[in-house]
Structure 1
Amino acid sequence: MTRPRPSGGSAASASFVASMAGAVDLSALKQRAQQPPPGAGESAGGPPSGAEVTEANFESDVLVRSNEVPVVVVLWTPRSDASVQLVDLFSGLAAQDGGKWVLATVNVDTASRVAQAFGVQAVPTVVALAAGQPLASFQGMQPPEQLRKWVDSLLSATAGKLSGGADEGEADEVDPALASARESLEAGDFDAAKAAYQSILDGDPAHVEAKGAIRQIDFLTRATTHPQNAVALADAAPGDIDAAFAAADVMVLNQDVTGAFNRLIALVRTTFGDDRTRVRTRLIELFELFDPTDPDVIAGRRNLANALY
Structure 2
Amino acid sequence: MQPRNMSMSGVVDLAAVKAAQEAKAKAEQARAEAARRGDTGAVSPAELVLDVDEAGFERDVLQRSTEVPVVIDFWAEWCEPCKQLSPVLERLAVEYNGRFLLAKVDVDANQMLMQQFGIQGIPAVFAVVAGQALPLFQGAAGEQQIRETLDQLVQVAEQRFGLTGLTVDPDAVPGERPADAEVPAGPYDAMLEAAVRALDSGDLGGAVTAYKNVLSEDPGNPEAKLGLAQAELLRRVQGLDAQKVRQEAAEKPGDVAAQIAAADLDLVGGHVEDAFGRLTDTVRRTAGEDRNSARLRLLELFEVVGAEDPRVTGARRALARALF
What's the TM-score, normalizing by structure 2? Answer: 0.52
- Provide the rounded CA distance (Å) in 2 between the counterparts of 1:255 and 1:225: 18
User: In 2, are the aligned partners of 1:234 and 1:240 still within 8 Å (CA)?
Assistant: yes
Q: Which has the larger radius of gyration?
A: 2
**Letter in structure 2 aligned against 1:179:** E
Q: Any unmatched runs of 5+ in structure 1? A: 1-21, 28-42, 48-59, 75-87, 105-113, 115-125, 135-139, 160-164
Residue in 2 aligned with 1:70? 68
Question: Which whole-Å deviations, capped at 9, do the CAs of 1:259-297 have from their partners, x for residues lacking one?
Answer: 111111111221122222221121111112112121211
**Letter in structure 2 aligned against 1:288:** E
Residue in 2 aligned with 1:222? 236
Q: Any unmatched runs of 5+ in structure 2? A: 1-10, 17-52, 73-86, 104-116, 118-125, 135-146, 168-176
Residue in 1 aligned with 2:30? none
**Letter in structure 1 aligned against 2:182:** E
- Provide the rounded CA distance (Å) in 2 between the counterparts of 1:129 and 1:182: 20
Q: Shift of the alpha carbon at 1:221? A: 0.5
Structure 1 segment 291-306 matched on structure 2, within 5 A: 291-306=306-321
**Letter in structure 2 aligned against 1:70:** V
What's the TM-score, normalizing by structure 1? Answer: 0.55
Q: Shift of the alpha carbon at 1:90? A: 8.1
User: In 1, are the aligned partners of 2:99 and 2:165 still within 8 Å (CA)?
Assistant: no
- Provide the rounded CA distance (Å) in 1 between the counterparts of 2:155 and 2:293: 42
Q: Judging changes above 3 Å, is the alpha-carbon distance between structure 1 residues 235 and 276 closer, same or farther for their aligned structure 2 residues?
A: same
Structure 1 segment 126-275 matched on structure 2, within 5 A: 129-130=129-130, 154-155=162-163, 167-173=179-185, 175-229=189-243, 230-275=245-290
Q: Judging changes above 3 Å, is the alpha-carbon distance between structure 1 residues 158 and 205 closer, same or farther for their aligned structure 2 residues?
A: farther
Identity fraction in percent: 30
**What SS does structure 2 have at the residue aligned with 1:288?**
helix
**What SS does structure 1 have at the residue aligned with 2:242?**
coil
Q: Shift of the alpha carbon at 1:127? A: 9.4
Residue in 2 aligned with 1:44? 54
Q: Is structure 2 residue 277 aligned with structure 1 residue 276?
A: no
Q: Shift of the alpha carbon at 1:96? A: 5.5
User: In 2, are the aligned partners of 1:190 and 1:221 still within 8 Å (CA)?
Assistant: yes
Q: Judging changes above 3 Å, is the alpha-carbon distance between structure 1 residues 129 and 190 closer, same or farther for their aligned structure 2 residues?
A: farther
- Provide the rounded CA distance (Å) in 1 between the counterparts of 2:301 and 2:71: 25
Residue in 2 aligned with 1:56? none
User: In 2, are the aligned partners of 1:68 and 1:131 still within 8 Å (CA)?
Assistant: yes
Structure 1 segment 101-120 matched on structure 2, within 5 A: 101-102=100-101
User: In 2, are the aligned partners of 1:66 and 1:132 still within 8 Å (CA)?
Assistant: no
- Provide the rounded CA distance (Å) in 1 between the counterparts of 2:60 and 2:191: 26
Structure that is richer in helix per residue? 2
CA-based RMSD: 4.7
User: In 1, are the aligned partners of 2:69 and 2:157 still within 8 Å (CA)?
Assistant: no
Count of matched residue positions in the alignment of Structure 1 and Structure 2: 219
Q: Shift of the alpha carbon at 1:169? A: 3.3
